[in-house]
Amino acid sequence: MLETFRGRLALLYIGIEFGILLFSALLIYVFLSRQVYQNMDEVLLSHAQAVIQDLEHNNSFYWFSILEAYQRQTGDSLELISANGTIQYASDKSIIDAGGNGVSHALGQAMNGSAATFISTESLLGKQNLRVLAMPIHAGHHIVATLLVAHKSSEIQAFFKLLYLIGGILGMISIVLSSWAGYMMAKRALRPIKIIQKTARKVAQGDLTQRLPNHAKERELQDLMEDLNSMFESLESSFKSQKRFTADASHELRMPLTILKGEMEVALRHPRSEEEYRFIFKQHLKTVSRMQYIVDDLLTLARSDAGMLELQQQTVDLSLLLQEVGQQHLILLSERHIHLEMEIQDDMEVMGDSSHLERVFFNLLGNTHKYAPEHSTVWLTAYVQKETVCITVRDEGPGIGLQHQALLFNRFYRVDDSRARKKGSAGLGLAICKHIVEVHQGHIDIESEEGKGASFIVTLPLSSGNPSHQARLQ
């Protein structure tokens, strides 16, 4: 029972309530007994005073009949002890014997002149408890005897017994009820936790579609369930994309491998001339290079996913970098009679890794080489805009439809699968570009319409180290 939260809560309720009950019983006893004794003492005193007055005004010859009359009238026990300690009158059995030390002490006090001494022979709830009053009887200035008046507290004891019995029964009922209520409340409050546990187990077993029904009334639980649901969602989506990525990657590598295997088998069927072998090897080299290119890209993405992409943080002269990348593509593009127009502002510096940044613009210009038509123009422009550098690579190619634009930066996404594949596209370049730009705190975007060319716009934050940039930034 102690192992569950419900059980512990119910036990806690029992403990607290038991403590409260015990404390209240104690308080009731203390206050009530004080009140009871006070009332009893007042009655005893008035009786004793009346008897003593009578005794003091009458000859000791009549004392016996006076004491008997009072005893009958009040029902109290009376005892008269002379100054030398002999019992001269005892209404029933001796109070001194019944009361023990307490009564002897009170007797002593009275003999010494104390006006009225009250004692109880036992606790108020004791079976034989007597409330005893000891008072001296004077003759002139001398104490001639002591009067003991005693009253049994048995009726009070019965009242207390009844009180504690009723209190005890009610207390027990309330303990049982409240611990049951505590148990049920805890059970109800923990119901959502059971649901969470069940769902988490199913998710752990591989069913990532499981979601928590969010109809908890408590805000804290609602928040927890929402957070868990979004965690399950992101788990599902990352698991799906991981699966897709693995499937796409193996598919992408399987194809060239199958081609390679087929070509080799055909080549080996009969002996060939050196010229033929040279031609075949050239073809194979192309296929292997393409596979190497894909594997390199996959490695880059895997490293960046694992946060292991090594990025140098240094000031990069972006103007120079773009000029160089542009120059390298001038020749490449001119092979397809594509004219490259460059407008690059001087002295633009950014913080980052030059080789990775170079890769971004190589990919973008490489795509124009693949998709721009012959005798068209490609523009590479770069200028400072507020606190960023804005670089645009624009071509007059087939463009990209709006429906593809949001997915274009996903891994292995190709607009026209077969056309792009023929051009050696695996669909990883733009995903790598996006990742590199984002780790440089930049953005990459596309503006395009089908049939009207495409513009890839990269924005990167300016490095604040360059004094001319600082002037611009102010």
Q: Given phi > 0 = left and psi -120 to 50 = alpha, else beta, which region is 145?
A: beta
Q: Does 400 bind ligand ADP (CB under 6 A)?
A: yes
Interaction with ligand ADP in 62-81: which residues (CB under 6 A)?
none
Spatial separation of the C-alpha atoms in residues 363 and 427, rounded to whole Å = 11
* CB-nearer residue toward ligand ADP: 203 or 325: 325
| Phi, psi dihedrals of residue 457, rounded to the nearest 5° | -110, 120
For tokens 């890209």, the residue is: 297
Closest CB to ligand ADP belongs to which residue?
A: 429
Binding-site size, ligand ADP (CB under 6 A): 21
Q: Does 380 bind ligand ADP (CB under 6 A)?
A: no
Which tokens belong to 288? Answer: 């292997």
Q: Does 368 bind ligand ADP (CB under 6 A)?
A: yes
Candidate ranges 99-107, 155-163, 267-275, 392-400; the one touching ligand ADP (CB under 6 A): 392-400
Instruction: Please report how close the Cβ of residue 448 comes to ligand ADP at its closest, in angstroms.
Output: 7
Which of 91, 146, 363, 459 forms a contact with ligand ADP (CB under 6 A)?
363
Q: Does 146 bind ligand ADP (CB under 6 A)?
A: no
Spatial separation of the C-alpha atoms in residues 366 and 360, rounded to whole Å = 10
Interaction with ligand ADP in 95-134: which residues (CB under 6 A)?
none
Q: Does 371 bind ligand ADP (CB under 6 A)?
A: yes
The answer to whether 446 touches 433, Cβ cutoff 8 Å, is: no
Spatial separation of the C-alpha atoms in residues 29 and 77, rounded to whole Å = 26
Instruction: Tell me whether residue 308 is exposed, middle or buried, using C-beta atoms within 10 angstroms of its C-beta: 0 to 12, 13 to 18, 19 or more.
Output: exposed
Q: Mask: binding to ligand ADP, 401-440, rule CB under 6 A, as x and -?
A: -------x----xxxx---x----xxxxxx----------
Instruction: Please report how close the Cβ of residue 400 comes to ligand ADP at its closest, in angstroms.
Output: 5
Q: Does 255 bind ligand ADP (CB under 6 A)?
A: no
Q: Does 454 bind ligand ADP (CB under 6 A)?
A: yes
DSSP 281-315: HHHHHHHHHHHHHHHHHHHHHHHHHTT------EE
Q: What is the distance of C-alpha 17 from the center of its chain?
A: 30
Instruction: Please report how close the Cβ of residue 354 comes to ligand ADP at its closest, in angstroms.
Output: 20
DSSP 60: G
Spatial separation of the C-alpha atoms in residues 252 and 292, rounded to whole Å = 12
Instruction: Please report how close the Cβ of residue 410 comes to ligand ADP at its closest, in angstroms.
Output: 9
Which residues would be at the binding site for ligand ADP (CB under 6 A)?
363, 367-368, 371, 395, 397-398, 400, 408, 413-416, 420, 425-430, 454
